[in-house]
């Protein structure tokens, strides 16, 4: 989980700080949390900020009592990490990792923190803050996208929240080819040219076709039609449908959640496709806006997506 990873990272950074750096961080954190909690009513967020202020203020007082490192000295491990003095108590749910490891004592629903718990406690409070923020966040709708969404749903026959109105057929897919994203257009063009795709590219295209509405039967027909033909010049895959039919059928059924763990695959995200660019010399997949040069991108957008040369030139100029 992202929150747990961030907690461990903060704990690590706190352990590396000198006493002066730690005091500065504690003071800034306490002041900011105190400002944020001012207008808040009782609740999870208020409780979290109250605990954050208490822990940071108590830890800072302890560091002040033990002196501050003089300028020019190398950072040393603060006594804070070895001190057994009690500091403060916080609701146990906010420091669940410390409770799970039995590092703290519980009393009446509170965890009793010692000085040495401060770095770990601050890390736990950061994780709790991330979780509270995620619960309270609301996705903002960009009003500029609504007209575009309306035109797309009207053209594609999509009812909001229901997916495609009817399963997509192969003829409908052929007719809608210019509407496909450039990453899938590039794979489709390569497949039609050589009648083969490397494994990862075949998986990416199959998952995409599933998610746009192609049924399992139609997806099978799609690949059978290509792999029954001889491999084109330069193809990196020499498999044929007659020799590998069972393997391909199982792979597609697995993708639709009918084999193996019976969990349907999802289409590759833009980020995943972008990260694939350049990973394999045999792959033709990835994001064209990242992996293609200007000439290749222009050719794809004009010949496959049907854009006018002027439109393609504008997109190419913004990308490369």
Q: Which of 111-120, 128-137, 234-243, 246-255 has the least mean pLDDT?
A: 128-137
Do 126 and 49 meet the contact criterion of CB atoms below 8 Å apart? no
What's the number of CA atoms in the CB half-sphere (13 Å) around residue 98?
Answer: 30
Integer angstrom CA distances of residue 60 from 54, 66, 126, 167, 187: 10, 10, 18, 63, 59
pLDDT at residue 77, as a whole number:
47
Q: Residues near 6 by Cβ (< 8 Å), separated by ≥ 6?
A: 126, 127, 130
Q: Any idea what DSSP says for residue 107?
A: E
Cα–Cα dist 47/126, whole Å: 13
Reported as a single tens digit per residue, the pLDDT across 169-225 is 899 888 888 888 889 999 999 999 999 998 889 999 999 999 988 999 999 999 999
**Residue bearing the bigger pLDDT, 191 or 6:** 191
Q: Cα torsion at 298, 299, 300, 302 (round to 10°)?
A: 80
pLDDT at residue 163, as a whole number:
46
Cα–Cα dist 174/192, whole Å: 12
Cα–Cα dist 203/209, whole Å: 10
Cα–Cα dist 117/95, whole Å: 10
pLDDT at 132 over 80: no
Tokens 């002066």 — which residue? 20
Quickly state the pLDDT bin for 318 (edges 50, 70, 90). low
Q: Count the Cβ atoms, other than its own, within 10 Å of residue 44.
A: 16
Burial class (CB in 10 A: 0-12, 13-18, 19+), 117: buried
Cα–Cα dist 2/126, whole Å: 12
Quickly state the pLDDT bin for 81 (edges 50, 70, 90). low
pLDDT at residue 122, as a whole number:
82
pTM here is 0.51
pLDDT at residue 166, as a whole number:
60
Residue 22 belongs to what H/E stretch?
helix 19-37
The residue-averaged pLDDT of 10-15 equals: 71
Cα–Cα dist 176/208, whole Å: 14
Quickly state the pLDDT bin for 289 (edges 50, 70, 90). confident
The residue-averaged pLDDT of 83-106 equals: 84
Integer angstrom CA distances of residue 181 from 26, 71, 141, 175: 48, 58, 22, 14
Residue 106 belongs to what H/E stretch?
strand 105-107
Reported as a single tens digit per residue, the pLDDT across 138-176 is 555 666 667 666 766 666 655 444 444 467 889 988 888
Reported as a single tens digit per residue, the pLDDT across 210-267 is 998 899 999 999 999 999 999 888 787 888 899 999 999 999 999 999 998 888 888 8
**Boundaries of every domain in the chain:** 2-134, 167-286
Tokens 């489709």 — which residue? 188
pLDDT at residue 255, as a whole number:
93
Q: Any idea what DSSP says for residue 214?
A: B
Cα–Cα dist 128/135, whole Å: 11
pLDDT at residue 155, as a whole number:
64
Do 310 and 316 meet the contact criterion of CB atoms below 8 Å apart? no
The per-residue DSSP string of 243-295 comes to HHHHHHHHHHHHHTTSSTT-----PPPHHHHHHHTTS-TT---S-HHHH--HH
Reported as a single tens digit per residue, the pLDDT across 46-80 is 777 788 788 888 777 777 776 544 443 434 444 55
pLDDT at residue 228, as a whole number:
93
């Amino acid at each position: 989980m992202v929150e747990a990873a961030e907690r461990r990272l903060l704990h690590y950074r706190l352990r590396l700080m000198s006493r002066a750096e730690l005091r500065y961080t504690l003071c800034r954190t306490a002041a900011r949390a105190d400002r944020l909690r001012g207008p808040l009513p009782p609740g999870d967020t208020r409780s979290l900020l109250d605990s954050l202020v208490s822990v940071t203020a108590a830890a800072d007082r302890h560091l002040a009592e033990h002196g501050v490192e003089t300028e020019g000295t190398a950072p040393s491990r603060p006594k804070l990490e070895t001190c057994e003095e009690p500091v403060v108590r916080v609701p146990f749910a906010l420091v669940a990792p410390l409770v799970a490891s039995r590092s703290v004592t519980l009393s009446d629903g509170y965890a009793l923190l010692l000085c040495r718990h401060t770095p770990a406690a601050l890390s736990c409070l950061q994780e709790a803050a991330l979780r509270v923020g995620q619960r309270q966040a609301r996705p903002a709708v960009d009003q500029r996208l609504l007209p575009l969404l309306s035109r797309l749903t009207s053209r594609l026959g999509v009812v909001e929240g229901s997916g495609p109105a009817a399963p997509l057929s192969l003829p409908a897919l052929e007719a809608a080819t210019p509407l496909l994203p450039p990453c899938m257009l590039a794979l489709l063009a390569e497949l039609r040219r050589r009648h083969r795709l490397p494994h990862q590219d075949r998986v990416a295209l199959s998952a995409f076709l599933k998610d746009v509405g192609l049924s399992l039967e139609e997806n099978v027909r799609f690949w059978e039609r290509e792999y029954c033909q001889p491999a084109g010049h330069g193809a990196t895959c020499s498999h044929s449908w007659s020799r590998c039919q069972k393997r391909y059928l199982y792979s597609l059924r697995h993708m639709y959640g009918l084999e193996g763990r019976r969990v349907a695959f999802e289409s590759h995200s833009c980020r995943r496709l972008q990260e694939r660019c350049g990973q394999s010399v045999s792959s033709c997949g990835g994001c064209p806006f990242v992996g293609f040069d200007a000439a290749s991108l222009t050719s794809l957008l004009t010949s496959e997506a049907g854009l006018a040369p002027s439109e393609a030139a504008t997109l190419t100029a913004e990308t490369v």
